[in-house]
Amino acid sequence: MREEVAKLKYMFNPRSVAIIGASRSPKKIGYEIVRNLKEYGFRGEIYPVNPQAKEILGFKCYKSVLEVPGPVDLAIISVPARIVPKVLEECGRKGVKAVAVISAGFGEIGNIELEREIVSIARKYGMRLLGPNIFGLFYAPSKLNASFGPRDVLPGNIAFISQSGALGIALMGWTILEGIGLSAIVSVGNKADVEDADLLEYFSEDPETKVILIYMEGVRNGRKFMEVAKKVTRKKPVIVIKAGRSEMGARAAASHTGALAGSDKIYDAAFKQSGVLRALNFEEAFDWARALSKLPPPKGENVVIITNGGGAGVLATDACEEHGLKLLRMTEDLMEKFKRYMPPFGSPKNPIDLTGQADENAYKGAILEALNDPRIHGIIALYCHTIITDPEALADAIIEAYNTAREKKPLVVNFVGGEECNRGMRKLEQAGIPTYPTPERAVSALATLFKWARYAGFIKAEYE
């Protein structure tokens, strides 16, 4: 890891955090960050800095970072832009290792000089600088919520990097609602110093992160991004939502974060060459990220669909073809095995149709059979709700099959139905099995896992 990148450990695993511009007024950004740090349970020292205040949220307050008694690894700066150079100098003199500049009013509004000035101060003292123009950062393992976004972010294995502030904050809330766990959230804003390539390299070595997901409007140094991405994607999947696909969108991006959006075709080609998985929107990106972070990579190309509804099976089959997933051609002996879990009018071909009268035991038996057969490398289980089966009992049965199988294999599940189906799907998610509300979304997620596994060399070409 480059030395510059290794320094990011002070950003994500700081022993102490100073909040410069910590405010006494609830609702102000400098207050909410202290509150999030405290209430999310940050384990290190918290030092609010404010020349006017004695105490904030029970923490002793300091007039300047220079007055803080112990060492400071990370400083969060939330004072108006014009004061940032002054407090940054103080951070440098104090020996602060990394800073995150929340303040807006730099390159994004044409204040390029001010942005250059803060970068040069940070570099003079060897500090890494995140931002400016950001909502903060979050890192689950160190219980660090140094943001003014929602507090109760769920811990997990997806590192989410966002160039957009408001969208990033909104997605923090959305992931809580959707039950999606995150290892890190990083608002990169103007990327004046720390940029995507640094974070990619850092998170590629982070044991808590299994997938890296970036919302991007543009990169400053495309060549560097590609070089790093090429290496990282062989180790961990990288998903990018690159906004500004249209010409008008690119112009909007330029005025939003000052990003040079560049030609979308160039980005597209660069992503393909470097193994980056490009998602069209955040729904797709998080669908993929859940599968990629939870499931093991497949060892071969053969997929089976197990369903109780012919229609859902056909929709999934179409989607498999569109996404380049190969449905296993069933052999006689395999069909005989699957026939055991269906009535005589079921179909043991692929899709394996257990029929509308299938109960949880039929699913359990068929899924376990598929998990244990070495010719099958991925499974799509679909369930259309009927009153014959309780979706929660079905979820338990699927979990049991998954946990008792000889080998863990990629398995995605789609339940179609009402609230009881949602309850079943939540159970599956908690057990580490990704679920989707439509067959197509389940297929798209599994197909992306296969795509990445091919790129990273998990699927051997000679495997049939």
Cβ 75 vs Cβ 46: under 8 Å: no
Q: Could you tell me if 334 and 375 are in contact, meaning their C-beta atoms sit under 8 angstroms apart?
A: yes
The DSSP output letter for 13 is S
Burial class (CB in 10 A: 0-12, 13-18, 19+), 47: buried
Q: Which is nearer to ligand COA, 34 or 144 (CB)?
A: 34
Among the listed ranges 129-137, 243-251, 298-306, 414-422, the one in contact with ligand COA (CB under 6 A) is 129-137
Q: Which residues, 73 to 112, sit near ligand COA by CB under 6 A? A: 78-80, 83, 87, 102-105
Does 257 bind ligand COA (CB under 6 A)? Our answer is no
Residue among 104 and 226 whose Cβ is closer to ligand COA: 104
Cα 45 to Cα 458: distance, rounded to the nearest angstrom:
43
C-alpha to C-alpha distance for 216 and 76, rounded to whole angstroms = 23
The 10 Å CB-count burial string (b at 16+, else e) for 273-283 is: ebbbbbbeebe
Options 130-138, 235-243, 322-330, 427-435: segment touching ligand COA (CB under 6 A): 130-138
Cα torsion angle, 440, 441, 443, 444, sign? positive
Name the residue whose CB lies closest to ligand COA.
165
Shortest distance, position 50 Cβ to ligand COA, whole Å: 4
Q: Select the residue interacting with ligand COA from 16, 36, 50, 145 (CB under 6 A).
A: 50
Q: Report how far Cα 313 is from the mean position of its chain's Cα atoms.
A: 29
CA distance 218 to 196: 10
Which residues contact residue 8 at a Cβ distance below 8 angstroms, ignoring those fewer than 6 apart? 98, 128, 194, 198, 199, 202
What is the phi/psi pair of residue 83, to 5°?
-90, -10
Does residue 135 interact with ligand COA by CB under 6 A? yes
Among candidate residues 240, 380, 409, 242, the one with its CA nearest the CA of residue 319: 380
- The distance of closest approach from Cβ of residue 175 to ligand COA in the complex, given in angstroms and rounded to an integer, is 17
Q: Pick the stretch among 44-52, 109-117, 177-185, 332-340 that binds ligand COA (CB under 6 A).
A: 44-52
Please identify, using beta-carbon distances, which residue of 32 and 284 lies nearer to ligand COA: 32
Q: How far apart are CA 362 and CA 398, in angstroms?
A: 10
Instruction: Check residue 250 for interaction with ligand COA (CB under 6 A).
Output: no
Please tell me the count of residues contacting ligand COA according to CB under 6 A. Answer: 26
Q: Which x/- pattern, by CB under 6 A, does the window 149-188 give for ligand COA?
A: ----------------x-----------------------
Asked if residues 235 and 458 have their Cβ atoms less than 8 Å apart, the reply is no
Six-digit token string for 78:
């939330």
Check binding of 417 to ligand COA (CB under 6 A): no
State which residue, 167 or 416, has the beta carbon closest to ligand COA.
167
Distance CA 427, CA 417 (A): 15
Among 27, 52, 58, 387, binds ligand COA (CB under 6 A): 52
Residue 199 interacting with ligand COA (CB under 6 A) = no
Of the pair 83, 266, the CB lying nearest ligand COA is at 83
CA dist., res. 342 & res. 358, Å (int): 7
121 forms part of the interface with ligand COA (CB under 6 A): no
Please tell me whether residue 101 adopts helix, strand or coil conformation.
Answer: strand
Min CB(186)–ligand COA separation in Å? 12
**36 is a contact residue toward ligand COA (CB under 6 A):** no
**Of residues 9, 12, 21, 149, which one binds ligand COA by CB under 6 A?**
21
The reply to whether 266 sits near ligand COA by the rule CB under 6 A is no
Handedness of CA 245, 246, 251, 252 (dihedral sign): negative
23 near ligand COA (CB under 6 A): yes
26 binds ligand COA (CB under 6 A): no
Q: What type of residue sits at position 246?
A: S
Residue 80 vs 457, nearer CB to ligand COA: 80
25 lines the binding site for ligand COA (CB under 6 A): yes
Cβ distance to ligand COA smaller for residue 23 or 347:
23
Contact residue for ligand COA among 26, 51, 58, 207 (CB under 6 A): 51
Of 168, 265, 257, nearest in space to 215 by CA: 168
Phi, psi of 385 (to 5 degrees): -65, 130
Q: Which residues bind ligand COA (CB under 6 A)?
A: 20-21, 23-25, 28-30, 49-53, 78-80, 83, 87, 102-105, 133-135, 165
